[in-house]
Amino acid sequence: MKFINFIFLFIPLIIFSQDERLINSIKNGESVYKDFCLRCHLPNGEGQIGIFPPLAKSDFLFKNMEESVKAIKFGGIDGEIIVNGVKYNSKMEKMGLYDDEIADVMNYILNSWGNKHDKIIEEAYVESLKK
Ligand code: HEC
């Protein structure tokens, strides 16, 4: 009986607080995006074909999430990448963001313009990534 109570009381609480954290992170990420990313990737994450890759519905972003976070953290990807079938060979600059800002902006781009990713990107995960 007690265990049942536990499940009904705490599981929804945990789920709720996860959602709440994701919503807050997305909100903070939106201002990071406007300050740092918008000038290349543009307001709707559409990018500029052949120069700045799109983030909206980007196959690369979802298939290479760790590499994408590293690119934001350490400044670009060496060599050529292919995003939605188009080659990109220019380089993203190092922006000097804090790990929590990178987590927030990731949560924003992963959940905007038709993108959807249920799992929250945590600051600790960003921190754990080495060059
Ligand atoms: C100076 C222009 C510029 C700025 C500013 C910039 N990017 Fe990029 N971004 C690029 C380029 C060019 C690439 C292609 C990969 C490479 O070679 O670095 C890229 C690649 C990416 C990728 C992986 C490819 C994809 O399209 O899925 C992600 C994710 C990304 N950028 C996110 C961001 C985020 C988030 C910010 C802001 C914190 C940001 N970028 C700021 C130019 C920029």
Q: Give 121 Cα–ligand 1 centroid separation in angstroms.
A: 17
| Index of the ligand 1 atom closest to the CA of residue 97 | 38
Q: Give residue-wise pLDDT tens across range 70-89.
A: 999 999 999 999 999 999 99
| pLDDT value of position 39 | 97
Q: Give 16 Cα–ligand 1 centroid separation in angstroms.
A: 32
Tokens of 68: 């994408």
Beta strands in the chain (DSSP E): 81-83, 86-88
CATH entry 2.60.120.10 includes domain 2-128: no
| pLDDT value of position 13 | 72
CA distances from 6 to 1, 15, 18, 41, 51 (A): 9, 14, 18, 46, 53
| Index of the ligand 1 atom closest to the CA of residue 53 | 26
| Index of the ligand 1 atom closest to the CA of residue 58 | 27
Residue ranges per domain, the chain?
2-128
Higher pLDDT: 23 or 1? It is 23
pLDDT exceeds 70 at position 3? yes
Give the mean model confidence (pLDDT) for residues 38-63.
98
Q: Determine contact, residues 72/18, Cβ cutoff 8 Å.
A: no
